Amino acid sequence: MPAPVPPLGRRRERGGGDLAETVALAWSSLLANRMRSALTMLGVIIGIAAVISMVTIGRGAQQQTESQLKSLGSNLIFVQSGVAAGGGAVSQGAGSATTLVWEDAKAIAASCSAVAAVAPTLSQRSQVVLEELNTNTTIVGSTPAYETVRDFLPLTGRFFNGVELNKAARVALLGQTVVDSLGVTAQSALDRTIRIRGESFTVIGTLEYKGSTGFRDQDDQVLIPLTTMASRIVGVNTSAGVSVESIAVAATSAGSMDAAQYQITNLLRLRHRIVPPRDDDFRIRNQADLVNASNAVANVFTALLGGAAAISLLVGGIGIMNIMLVSVTERTREIGIRRAIGARCSDILRQFLIESTVLSLAGGLLGVLLGVGASLAINAAFGWSAGVAMDAVGGSLLFCLVIGVFFGAYPANKAAQLDPMTSLRSD
């Protein structure tokens, strides 16, 4: 059934009137078919809301990952042992060869002026038993400097000291995940005896909550002295001393990280007698590299989410073009009357362009409200502080304007090119 013909307006006989009157006329045409207009806007509403929500999720995840990386410690540099080759010279990954020793860490602390503190580490997964409960976790052996270098502070109890390190004492600190898995609390875990590889350890402290970084739970670990780890758990020793997997280094300041990395590289090359063209048997990465790599991945992830959501906007634009073509067909007689009383082709073209633009922008505004609400709910649910992606809001509204003009151009041009006499004879 043809749509109701809206009032032609007082100035229509002189060619159409000003922009405000044309906008009002376009709005009245849309209101004449409320349900159809609402269904047409639905695609744009969902598209806009999806874009804003997806960008918010991507940026929230990026901020959370960056925050977790920074919680590893300040001005941090990681020195990893080299790569061991498997059968057929297949690389087993960084840290698979025992090319770093405790003496390397001591030399870095003593010789590198841009270094504030050094904490060598040696780790292995093992079962931890407390009475009838047990859990599989990562056992990390290190030195007292680990507390400051990696910013792992005790929640209850204390960190092990230099005396306990020298004596290879059987003492341990538990991460919060381990505490929960063993069915105790941070306070009640103190002075309890746990067993690791048949050895008894006294719990002297529990660690503050750190959260997860990527796929690794930083709270799922037990800290023990490096000497105890090497002699009782792993047993990795070489003629050069205690082998370690990695060395965590804290630079004196953020501005001295490049200097520290340069000093560490040259020192280890001298100690390991590495001369060109021989490759280094260690790898160095700083915290900035980790943050940049994480941000690069997060930006791609956010772009993919936003791009996928933007597809629904294009679908919404196609829906607008479709409904405008239907509107042109239904209002052929109205267009003929307007042309007969003096309306120009440009007046008809402008009216239909404004109708499609108003339809798109109205859907965009409703989509923004829905997207902002969804973003606030997402931030509240995950505890993120990313806020609402305002650039996504502005970009989405601009995209709506483009969609309204682009997908409305063909129907508007078709309406403007209708022959007045043919239109007047239309039913």
Structure-model confidence comparison of residues 76 and 175, the more confident one: 175
Q: pLDDT digit string (tens) for 155-210?
A: 999 999 999 999 999 999 999 999 999 999 999 999 999 999 989 999 999 999 88
| DSSP characters over 327-360 | HHHHTHHHHHHHHHTT--HHHHHHHHHHHHHHHH
DSSP assignment of 124-189, as one string?
A: EEEEEEETTEEEEEEEEEE-TTHHHHTT--EEEE----HHHHHTT--EEEE-HHHHHHTT--TTTT
Treating both helix axes as pointing N-terminal to C-terminal, what angle do 345-382 and 19-31 enclose, rounded to 10 degrees? 70
Query: At residue 336, does pLDDT exceed 90?
Result: no
69-83, 98-112, 247-261: segment of lowest average pLDDT: 69-83
Asked if 132 and 230 touch (Cβ cutoff 8 Å), the reply is no
Residue of 363, 336, 356 lying closest to 417 (CA atoms): 336
Instruction: Provide the pLDDT for residue 97.
Output: 60
Buried b (16+ CB within 10 A) or exposed e, 328-340: bebbbebbbbbbe
Q: What is the DSSP letter of 6?
A: P
Whether residue 120 contacts residue 246, with contact meaning beta carbons closer than 8 Å, is answered with: yes
Question: What is this structure's pTM?
Answer: 0.60
Distance CA 351, CA 414 (A): 12
Element (H, E) at 96: none
**Strand pairing report for 199-207 and 171-174:** parallel
Which two structure tokens, joined as six digits, stand for 319? 């829906």
Give the pair of three-digit tokens for residue 273: 């007698």
Give the angle subtended at the CA of 197 by the CAs of 194 and 203, to the nearest 5°.
Answer: 20
Domain chopping of the chain, boundaries: 12-67+294-424, 98-280
CB 81 within 8 A of CB 97: yes
| Closest to 245 measured CA to CA, from 164, 327, 147, 139 | 139
The set of residues, in sequence order, having a beta carbon less than 8 Å from that of 15 and lying 6+ positions away, is 342, 343, 344, 347
More confident: 383 or 166 = 166
Burial of 104 (0-12, 13-18, 19+ CB in 10 A): buried
- Compare 35 and 83 and report the one with higher pLDDT: 35
pLDDT confidence tier of residue 373, bands split at 50, 70 and 90 = confident
